Amino acid sequence: MSSDTNRKPRHTRWRWIQSIIILIIMAMIAGSALEAWRNRNLDKMQISTSQPTYTTIDNQKVDIFRDSYDQTVLVYIWATWCGSCKVVSPVINWLNNQQWTDLKIVTIAMQSGDDRRLHAYLNTKGYNFPVVNDNTRALTRQWKLSRAPTILLIKNGKIQSTTAGLVTPPGLFARLAWVDLK
């Protein structure tokens, strides 16, 4: 037998490649549609500014809306028990440590224990982003947020972009660039 009979014709390989490309495109479309459906109410969400100042677990005062007039504010709602947050939190921490960004980061820990437990968790993971503890979910209920992770980008006192669920670093950077262009 010649070696040519054991080889698959090129057109068969090309069909496999085409099928893979089509599957990737379909997965991207389905993922975008799912994210749009999950986030359908976030764009209409109105966060109450009646309590504009929040206190972090390090006793720092943050005023999300006032600060958003000076720079874009990224609000990251997360939880210690959230699986997707284990992927997103390192990206948020990295962004928080960058000097070149004109971005303020405020995080809200949802149902993750008392301040002492949150400090221990942050120290174990090496995270140093500011955290507002929402252990009773009073704040996230007031804002009508039900899932972690959720990311809000606020600029000039208005929510400019929202996403809930797993977000990739390129997706987050694209959202930040889009908000900066507005």
- Per-residue model confidence as pLDDT tens digits over 2-46: 555 556 566 788 888 889 999 888 877 776 666 666 556 555 555
Q: Which is more confident, 97 or 52?
A: 97
Angle at 144 between CA 143 and CA 145, to 5 degrees: 95
In this predicted model, what pLDDT tens digit does every residue of 84-118 receive, in sequence order? 999 999 999 998 988 777 889 999 999 999 999 99
Confidence at residue 181, expressed as pLDDT on a 0 to 100 scale: 77
Q: What is the pLDDT of residues 166-177, one digit of tens each?
A: 888 888 888 888
158: which 2 tokens?
């208005």
pTM, two decimal places: 0.75
17 vs 141: CA distance, rounded Å: 47
Helix (H, G, I), strand (E, B) or coil at 162: strand
180 Cβ partners below 8 Å, 6+ apart?
72
Per-residue pLDDT, 128 = 93
Question: Which pLDDT band holds residue 55 (cuts at 50, 70, 90)?
Answer: very high
What pLDDT does residue 143 have? Answer: 80
Question: Distances in Å between the alpha carbon of 116 and those of 90, 112, 136?
Answer: 21, 11, 15
- Which pair of tokens denotes residue 56? 């972090």
The string of pLDDT tens digits covering residues 128-172 is: 999 999 999 988 888 878 789 999 999 888 888 888 888 888 888
